[in-house]
A = this chain, B = another copy of it.
Amino acid sequence: MLKKMGEQAIKAKETVELLSTEQKNEALNLAARMLIRDTDRILAANEQDMEAGRKKGMSQGLLDRLKLTKDRILDMSEGIRQVAKLPDPVGEILEEWERPNGLFIQKKRVPLGVIGIIYEARPNVTADAFALCFKTGNVVMLKGGSDAIHSNTAITESLRTALSEAGVNPDAIQLIRDTDRETTARFMKLNAYLDVLIPRGGAGLIQSVVNNSTIPVIETGTGNCHIYVDKDADLEMALEIIINAKTQRIGVCNACESLVVHEAVAKEVYPLLQKAMEKKQVELRGDETFCALFPQCRAADEEDYAEEYLDYILSVKTVKSLEEAISHINRYHTMHSDCIVTKSAERAEYFLNRVDSACVYWNASTRFTDGFEFGFGAEIGISTQKLHARGPMGLKELTSYKYLIKGTGQIR
């Protein structure tokens, strides 16, 4: 079944990659309308998933992620419309040059081809991933969580109907309906058909894809983000940034999980921090210096420093120097986003260059690591690897390039 789907994807790719921007936008706008038109059908399907979820005792949080409402479908639809409005990066000539032998070489931006997405029980990803991939001339094969299978199937049907009506091969989006482990395992080895695999979800899902896929993977989303308060920091600014990065939204990958503080300001910072975090009900887990001030706090261990809590917990580490702060961060971070708060441009520059993360901040919240906040207009995820794309991935990051070489009979 997977093989047949793969062949269909390849077939669809041949025409989808050649669609004009206008054709793609038209199909996207039709898809946006189709979701609205099919709202009742989608909601009914979603209710099946919700009922099954309640029966099996899914947590309130997971149920909330799974749930669709009229408004949420409207949001999905509006999301697709927004993607239609974005500039199309495909077809751009990135470079061109002539060789001494007269060969004329063009480097042209092209779609990646067939993109696989593996995600959890979030039905909105179905519409979202489709829109971004389709806008960039890619074909998608989606493998969503089994708990959302009815919702995903309903949404996919609407999108496929819209494509057909727009005269586009509906296999530009295919949903894998078998949600068992074996199918997933085989999907991750479908190198003959897929050009890239992008996991979207928690650390467990991502690790499983990284470990098992033979298809090139873009690793996304795990964020153990640090804020380092330097000895020259504006402490008021530091505190505002910490509060924002830690508490504005808890469960996201660009939230702050670890605080690093220069010993010269530790005694001043910690009481302020403790008060602010208590107010926000954030538990602090500190090192010796911190715990000496607040003996009731739990001591932070190695695991705390490495942990992406996604919770009301923050680890705290005191350092003797900027150098030690950088070492600590480079050791424990996930190469996602880290920040220095300092008034010294020189020390900031050093930190920015030495900390090996996708996004390194000087005096700003790590929460800005986001395709929309960067001005990309969209986001398929945040890459924490160095190959292909790093940090927020927008439309351009869903493309590759090819070389077109024009000659007049040149031989070597």
Q: How far is the CA of A358 from the CA of B195 in the complex (A)?
A: 13
CB distance from A98 to the nearest CB of B (A): 10
Is A400's beta carbon under 8 Å from chain B?
Answer: yes
Chain B residues with CB under 8 Å of A364's CB are 103, 405-411
CB distance from A259 to the nearest CB of B (A): 15
A interface, over-half SS: mixed
Is A317's beta carbon under 8 Å from chain B?
Answer: no
Chain B residues with CB under 8 Å of A237's CB are 409
What does the 1/0 interface line of A393-412 toward B look like (CB < 8 Å)? 00000001111111111111
Contact of A354 among B14, B97, B112, B211 (CB under 8 A): B14
CB closest residue in chain B, given A245: B411
Known A191-B210, A367-B411, A387-B388; 16 more pairs at CB < 8 Å: A14-B330, A18-B353, A216-B387, A218-B387, A234-B409, A248-B412, A358-B403, A359-B405, A361-B405, A361-B406, A363-B409, A364-B408, A365-B410, A369-B403, A390-B403, A391-B403
CB closest residue in chain B, given A357: B402
User: A-B pairs with the 10 shortest C-beta distances?
Assistant: A364-B407, A244-B411, A386-B400, A388-B388, A216-B387, A237-B409, A364-B410, A367-B412, A359-B403, A387-B388
Contact of A360 among B219, B245, B404 (CB under 8 A): B404
Chain B residues with CB under 8 Å of A368's CB are 103, 405, 407, 410, 412
Are B412 and A400 neighbours in the complex by a CB distance under 8 Å?
no
What are 8 inter-chain pairs, A to B, with CB distance below 8 A? A103-B373, A112-B387, A113-B356, A210-B214, A241-B409, A363-B407, A367-B411, A391-B402
Is A278's beta carbon under 8 Å from chain B?
Answer: no
Is A166's beta carbon under 8 Å from chain B?
Answer: no
CB closest residue in chain B, given A326: B14
Q: Kindly identify, within residues 235 to 269 of chain A, every residue whose CB is under 8 Å from any CB belonging to chain B.
A: 237, 240-241, 243-245, 248
Chain B residues with CB under 8 Å of A409's CB are 234, 237, 240-241, 363-364
Is A274's beta carbon under 8 Å from chain B?
Answer: no
Is A63's beta carbon under 8 Å from chain B?
Answer: no
Q: Which of A211, A362, A406 has the most CB of B within 10 A?
A: A406
CB distance from A56 to the nearest CB of B (A): 32
CB closest residue in chain B, given A359: B403
For the complex, count residues of A whose C-beta is within 8 A of B.
Answer: 66
CB distance from A277 to the nearest CB of B (A): 16
Q: Knowing A18-B353, A210-B191, A411-B367 touch, does A400 contact B390 (C-beta < 8 A)? A: yes
Q: Knowing A195-B387, A386-B112, A403-B391 touch, does A99 contact B18 (C-beta < 8 A)? A: no
Chain B residues with CB under 8 Å of A244's CB are 411-412
Q: How far is the CA of A195 from the CA of B357 in the complex (A)?
A: 12
Is A352's beta carbon under 8 Å from chain B?
Answer: yes
CB distance from A107 to the nearest CB of B (A): 9
Chain B residues with CB under 8 Å of A105's CB are 374
Are A375 and B97 neighbours in the complex by a CB distance under 8 Å?
yes
Chain B residues with CB under 8 Å of A386's CB are 112-113, 195-196, 216, 400
